[in-house]
Amino acid sequence: MLGYLVRRILVMIPTLIAISIVIFTIINLPPGDYFSTYIAELQSQGEHANLAKIAFLRAEYGFDQPLWRQYLVWAFGMLHGNMGYSFAYDMPVTQVVGDRLFMTFLVSFTTILFTYAVAFPIGVYSATHQYSLGDYLLTFVGFIGLATPSFLLALVLVYATHVYFGISIGGLMDPHYMGQPWTWGKLASVAAHIWVPVVVIGAAGTAAMIRRLRANLLDELQKQYVVTARAKGLHPLKTLFKYPLRMALNPFISDIGSLLPQVISGAAIVSVVMSLPTTGPMLLDALRSQDMYLAGSFLMFMAFLTVIGVFLSDLALAALDPRIRLQAGRQG
């Protein structure tokens, strides 16, 4: 495993470097920069921009330098924990992000826990009770979950709860807790609000995972070793848990890699709809206004999560099922 770990890390580092270069290039592709957008905005409102100050800021933040030099400053800055400066907010990115990063983590991890906690028992039930009424019902609900975009589900929920119950389910806490230090009251408020975005964001992922677990478990349950175990009179639960379920769990583990960034990026639109204080809406604003360091740091953070997620799922898969695929053949 140590050899595998080292090789995997050595693959991961150039991947991250390549991603950072692509991100930096893409956010610099639109013509102009934050300041030219800002000047155009002021002029459209009939106001005058302080051109001398803007020229000073351009020089201060290296906008007059070649692109490769700007990239190096940004990349080495991140190694030092300096994610750059947000021009729109006029403060360092780390301060702008602040609590929002924690909220994003909270919503994302709760969503992933929800996804696994719901998908696992339903997937197992559907596979072991194939073509039963319960299986048909859960399959139907699963297809609805797969086919409904998260933001649409959010809009419907926000509308329905407001019109029929007279309550607002937007936000992650009661408004008077916003910007306040953490207390038990604030925590309780977050706990009371978080289930709605978690269900909305997790619906599609949960449905997809139920389908995959069901299909994989059905494949395993029809294999000869399971038939033999049943014929020999092994207890049904032991027949299920000993090997078939373990084998069917592989997609669960390999999904960790894609689930994390998927949840975070999927949450961006839902966050806008539901007024969640997460990083999603801020990322959209940063991309629109060409606030390059804020946007770049967000995108890099998501890329980092993706790479780490895939790395962790690969490690878990290698530890759980280091099996050769016969069609791949073996080379020394």
Partner 1 sequence: MTTIPDAAETVNAEPGVTHHAYPASAMAGDYLRAAAGLVPTGILLSSVPLATVSGVVLASLAAIFALFAARTVLRHRCLIEMSETELRASGLWPRSIAWTALDRFKLGYYSTRRDRRAGWMQLELGVRGTRLRLDSRIGGFDAVVRRAASTAFARGLELSPTTLANLQALGIRAHDAGSWR
Contacts with partner 1, residue ranges (CB under 8 A): 1-11, 76, 79-82, 225, 243, 247, 314, 318, 321-326, 328-332
**What secondary structure letter does DSSP report for 176?**
G
CA dist., res. 261 & res. 183, Å (int): 29
Query: Which tokens sit at 115?
Result: 């996804």
User: By the 8 A CB rule, do 104 and 264 touch?
Assistant: yes
Mode of pairing for the β-strands spanning 91-92 and 85-86: antiparallel
Name the residue nearer to partner 1 (CB basis): 52 or 328: 328
Q: Which is nearer to partner 1, 10 or 59 (CB)?
A: 10
Tell me whether residue 155 or residue 308 sits nearer to partner 1 (CB atom).
Answer: 308
Q: How far is the CB of 315 from partner 1 (least distance, A)?
A: 11
Minimum Å distance from CB 186 to partner 1?
26
DSSP-derived letter for residue 48 is: P
DSSP string, 129-172: TTTSHHHHHHHHHHHHHHHS-HHHHHHHHHHHHHHHH-----SS
**36 vs 82, which CB is nearer to partner 1?**
82
Task: With beta carbons less than 8 A apart as the criterion, state whether 195 and 203 touch.
Answer: no
Our CB check for partner 1 shows the closer of 52 and 326 to be 326
Minimum distance of partner 1 from residue 217's CB (angstroms): 15
Reference 208, options 130, 125, 147; nearest CA is: 147
- CA–CA separation, 141 and 178 (whole Å): 36
- The answer for residues whose C-beta is within 8 angstroms of residue 136's C-beta and 6 or more apart is none
Strand partners, 92: 85
Residue 21 beta carbon to partner 1: minimum distance, rounded to whole angstroms? 17
Please, which residue, 2 or 133, has the CB nearer to partner 1?
Answer: 2
Q: What is the smallest separation between the CB atom of 97 and partner 1, expressed in angstroms? A: 14
Question: Residue 146 or residue 315: which is nearer to partner 1 going by CB?
Answer: 315
Alpha-carbon Rg for the chain in angstroms: 25
Tell me the closest approach of the beta carbon of residue 40 to partner 1, in angstroms: 36
Please give the structure tokens belonging to residue 217: 């478990």
In the bound complex, what is the minimum distance in angstroms from residue 245's beta carbon to partner 1?
13
Strand (E) or helix (H) holding 220? helix 184-221
